Homo-oligomer: A and B are copies of this chain.
């Protein structure tokens, strides 16, 4: 498997990058005539993969699509895909026939035989939900020309989990909310999001922790609403509001206690530049503070693209591939520290 050197984490950061790391729209679809994945036999699952691989993709992507067979992929490759947010953790570690299609720029991916037969996503850096929506809609329409998606007049598109029935769409953004964390308002925001039927998850989606103050926020219910309505509500109201909360928290912090902010961000940068051993969780936490410092203009000799890239490169599989490390202890602390020190221009 050969992944692109670029990914959304390495591209230019995009609109509203101070708060929104990436945007994603995902559609769930199933093919008529097959049981849902959890009821399908191995031959049926193999057939589903075969059918999707022969479907027609939009011309702009068709040439650059790479298919990865997850059953044949190495553990390292599977972990790489998770770290890039191209497949879910569950999908990577399952053991039934399954595959993923990835466009050459990695903005588009289609998991086959995850919870649904098809999970298509478009992932872009910064706040670009409208572009993601356009992209995934175009993919859906094109695939539907050669695939017969399960659909019921009464419910809409059928999905394995009821929360996806209807239009089967999920909008999500990966937000960086260190300001709300520092002011202590993050819990209020989480509670408000729950009231609005939004899901707030950690860095690697479902069942993961909010490492480094990253939160994945997404709409929860799709039944009875049109894709357009969900897009309007989520992209035009919810996300701008969350961005506003975070920016307000940051400016309150800077006004009320600039010394505290500088203390946090300068210490974090100094430790990253001085450490000799660096665990991944600690690195995420420190990079999160540096990211805040860069976005607030309190750190001027590091740029946002470098910090974003490091969030990806410090992950274990990326680190192994990138450094061809011979470190054997499995936790890569020394290699990670060396990489980070160099990237941040330590003396």
Contacts and interface: CB of A to CB of B under 8 A. Distances in A.
B271 A334 contact: no
Contacts of A271: 267, 270-271, 274
A6 interface: no
Interface stretch (A15-23, A227-235, A257-265): A257-265
A107 interface: no
Contact of A269 (B266, B269, B274): B274
A273 interface: yes
A254 to B, nearest CB: 13
Contacts of A276: 259-260, 262-263, 266
A145 interface: no
Nearest to A347: B347
Contacts of A294: none
Interface in A237-296: 259-260, 262-263, 266-267, 269-271, 273-277
Q: Sort chain A's interface into a size bin.
A: 10 to 19
B263 A270 contact: no
A34 B153 CA distance: 106
A267 B340 CA distance: 14
Interface of A: 259-260, 262-263, 266-267, 269-271, 273-277, 334, 337
8 nearest A-B pairs in the assembled complex, by CB-CB distance: A270-B274, A263-B276, A270-B270, A266-B274, A263-B277, A262-B276, A259-B276, A267-B274
A259 B334 CA distance: 8
Contact of A275 (B267, B277, B337): B267
A274 B298 CA distance: 13
A259 B336 CA distance: 13
Contact of A273 (B263, B270, B334): B270
B275 A266 contact: yes
A125 to B, nearest CB: 29
Contacts of A263: 275-277, 337
Contacts of A275: 263, 266-267
A339 to B, nearest CB: 15
Contacts of A259: 276-277, 334
A10 to B, nearest CB: 27
8 contacts: A259-B277, A259-B334, A262-B276, A263-B276, A263-B337, A266-B274, A267-B275, A270-B273
A154 to B, nearest CB: 62
Contacts of A274: 266-267, 269-271
A259 B260 CA distance: 31
Nearest to A270: B274
A266 B276 CA distance: 8
